Amino acid sequence: MSEQGNSEHRKFAVRVPVLARVEGEGALDIRIDDGKIEHLELHIFEPPRLFEKFLEGRDHSEVLDTVARICGICPVAYQMSAAHAIESIFNMQPGPWVREMRRLFYCGEWLESHALHVHLLAAPDFLGFPNAIAMAAKYPDEVKRGLDLQEIGNALVRLLGARSVHPIGARVGGFFHAPTPEAVAALLARCRAALPGAEQLVHWTAAIPMPDDVQEFTSVALRHPDEYPMNEGRLVSSDGLDIDIGDWQQHFAEAQVPHSTAFHAHLHGKPYLVGPLARLNLNFDRLPDVVRANAQAAGLRFPSDNMFHSAAARAVEIHYALLEAIRILENYREPSSPFIEATPRAGVGYGCTEAPRGLLWHRWEMDDAGRVRSATIVPPTSQNQARIEEDLRRSLEAFGFDHADDAIRLRSEMVVRNYDPCISCSTHFLKVRVER
């Protein structure tokens, strides 16, 4: 922190050049005047990755393997949102087996992503360690538990996707192969053995000292009439929104900001939150009784207006995802076919699923040969960008600026990491306007 003036006001400029333990490159610029933030910008440096643009002209059979490359942590979400949108255009109904397997696929992604975040990103922050390796010296069993849960998540993704990173087993209409009963039984045993640890994780996370940082924000998530939302539902918000996913663009808008390559999204002109805390704030009643009871016994209460409760929300979702995986694996039956064939036709379709870090919305337009005419992909990180900046302003002013540089830097990083941002998921092709 460098002092800019020392007359009647104290002015400071702070730049956090690297947001450690966050995928991608970014920096935070803050100017402070007399204890108030007069300027704050979260810079994202990475250039647009152009996924939407280079998907144009591709056959529908190429889409799922391509969008899986958008993110190494949550490829399933990109595949499922795209599959749902394209299948709606082709008027496809893959059936209950595919629906259950997609939910199992999603359970794997939630487990691996949430376990990584809780144990390798969030817990070291709250417990005062620079990283999980240092934390493991004092909490070896907890770190091992986190790695074990993550590997079970990876195994669930591999079961259907053939590999855990950028899986290639999904297709429009279902999956290329069905798991064998032997593979399912082996994985079911692992999930059952891990269940007590997942229950304990909720209590351990709830007991970690976290800042009491209450603030106002709007939660946005899917909501399903019968189940906790992963891959289906209506779009709802804590301020009363309740719409079909096809109406997203009538209420939400993205905009480019000068200081970032990542778009900022707003709901009716205001920032909003997506992710595990938003999901629990809007869907706690959709959790199974045993998951709700365990969370309440741990002292957790939802809805919560403390963003730092996101780590505990991830622990609750780990417990849920493991239980849901067990339910699906216990009822597994091999199908006559793991997919239905697509009959292409022209049209526009929408897909919206819940990635580990929040809502992932897709709009696809296909021609009558089943080729992509246009694609719009709105990642959860870009939806949270404006909320992150709002949270940084609010949280840092509440924290105060009479701390050392390192303390302000750590607090800033804690706030950003709390959203589990995947900065590299900026997929948009920027529009160019030419004047002559």
CB hemisphere CA count around 374 (13 angstroms):
7
- CB-hemisphere CA count at 13 Å for 190? 18
Please list, in sequence order, all residues whose beta carbon lies within 8 angstroms of the beta carbon of residue 196, skipping any fewer than 6 positions away.
Answer: none
The CA distance from 31 to 12, in Å, is 6
Q: Determine whether 36 is exposed, middle or buried from the number of CB atoms within 10 Å of its CB (0-12, 13-18, 19+).
A: exposed
pLDDT at residue 1 tops 80:
no
Burial class (CB in 10 A: 0-12, 13-18, 19+), 156: buried
To the nearest whole number, what is the mean pLDDT of the chain?
A: 89
Of the two residues 167 and 27, the one the predictor is more confident about is 167
pLDDT at 240: 97
Using CB atoms within 10 Å of the CB of residue 67, give its burial: 0 to 12 exposed, 13 to 18 middle, 19+ buried: buried
pLDDT reading at 8 higher than 50: no
Which pLDDT tens digit goes with each residue over 394-418? 888 888 877 777 777 788 888 888 8
The predicted structure's pLDDT at residue 47:
66
Pairwise pLDDT comparison (29 vs 216), residue with the higher score: 216
pLDDT in the model for residue 174: 98
State how far the Cα of 100 lies from the Cα of 231, in Å rounded to an integer: 10
Q: What percent of the chain has pLDDT over 90?
A: 70
What 8-state DSSP symbol labels residue 16?
Answer: E
Residue 13: pLDDT band with limits 50, 70, 90 = low
- Over residues 138-182, the pLDDT tens digits come to 999 999 999 999 999 999 999 999 999 999 999 999 999 999 999
Confidence (pLDDT) at 22: 56
The residues near 139 (Cβ < 8 Å, ≥ 6 apart) are: 123, 127
What pLDDT, in 10s, does the model give residues 50-102?
Answer: 888 889 999 999 999 999 998 888 899 999 999 999 999 999 999 999 999 99
Q: How far is the C-alpha of 280 from the C-alpha of 282, rounded, in Å?
A: 5
Predicted confidence at residue 14, as pLDDT, reads 52
Give 230-239 pLDDT, tens digit per residue. 999 999 999 9
- Using the predicted structure, report yes or no on whether residue 48 has a pLDDT greater than 80: no
Residue range 210-235: average pLDDT?
A: 95
- Residues 364-383 have a mean pLDDT of 95
Q: Highest mean pLDDT: which of 8-12, 35-39, 123-127, 240-244?
A: 240-244
Q: Mean pLDDT across the stretch 321-343?
A: 97
Domains contained in the chain, CATH given: 51-385 (1.10.645.10)
CA distance 281 to 303: 4
Beta strands in 165-319 (DSSP E): 170-171, 174-175, 220-223, 234-237, 242-243, 252-255, 264-267
Provide the pLDDT confidence category of residue 260 given band limits of 50, 70 and 90. confident
The CA distance from 9 to 33, in Å, is 6
Instruction: Give the largest Cα separation in the chain, rounded.
Output: 79
Residue 2 confidence (pLDDT) = 28
**CB pairs under 8 A, 24+ apart, for 53-60?**
53/429, 55/372, 55/375, 56/372, 56/373, 56/374, 56/375, 57/371, 57/372, 58/371, 58/372, 59/369, 59/370, 59/371, 59/372, 60/86, 60/90, 60/172, 60/342, 60/344, 60/366, 60/370, 60/371, 60/372
